[in-house]
Amino acid sequence: MRCYENRINQEECKKQIDKAKGHLFRAGYDAYELLGIEATTKIKSTFSKYDPSVIIKVFPNYYETVYPQVSKFEEQLVIARANKDVGYNFYNDDGEIDVEKIQNAFTAYENIVTELLVLKDEVITKIPALEQAKVDSEQEKKADHYKELIIAIMSAIIGAIISKIL
């Protein structure tokens, strides 16, 4: 709108249009960022509820694929935030907007967010299995505790019997 207010001053008009283009570029990054943050938060909050042994039973490659992917996104996010003014360099030699430059700028970020969304969906589908593995793990721990208790009691009884015999 400021450009239209300053139609007479072409330089000011161009400056305002460039600012608008920069805002649009950052809005694109913001959209990817919000999707990525939501996926990252969901993945982290889901896995924070489970013991690592449970995670490995259900999702054996979690620490090799999911965890590094989340870390990679967080690093990319820092880089994107640091370069938020890069949207001003999307012109070709004729001063026209170069759509290919814009697409290339978003491709890497888009790819990692897409991968995160796929991982998030995979995590969501594994929640019932994680819950079952958690229950199974707790039952195994109880069973192991009872076994240890029975062994301790049996050892005490056998020890008492042996001491009475001797």
Of 100, 34, 99, 111, which is closest to residue 72 (Cα–Cα)?
111
DSSP letters along 29-83, please? HHHHHHHHHHHHHHHHHHHTTS-HHHHHHH-TTIIIIIHHHHHHHHHHHHHHHHT
**Helix, strand, or coil (residue 24):** helix
pLDDT-based confidence at residue 161 (cuts at 50, 70, 90): confident
Per-residue pLDDT of 75-130, as tens digits, reads 877 776 676 555 456 777 887 777 887 777 778 778 888 888 998 998 899 899 98
Mean pLDDT score, 147-153: 86
Q: Pick the residue with more confidence: 122 or 146?
A: 122
Per-residue pLDDT of 29-88, as tens digits, reads 888 889 988 999 999 999 899 989 899 988 888 888 888 888 888 887 777 667 655 545
Global pTM reads: 0.65
pLDDT (0 to 100) of residue 83 = 62
- Matching residue, tokens 């593995």: 133
Mean pLDDT score, 140-158: 84
For the chain, domain boundaries: 2-126
pLDDT (0 to 100) of residue 121 = 92
pLDDT (0 to 100) of residue 6 = 63
Q: Which residues share a beta bridge with 91?
A: 97
pLDDT (0 to 100) of residue 30 = 85
Average pLDDT, the chain: 82
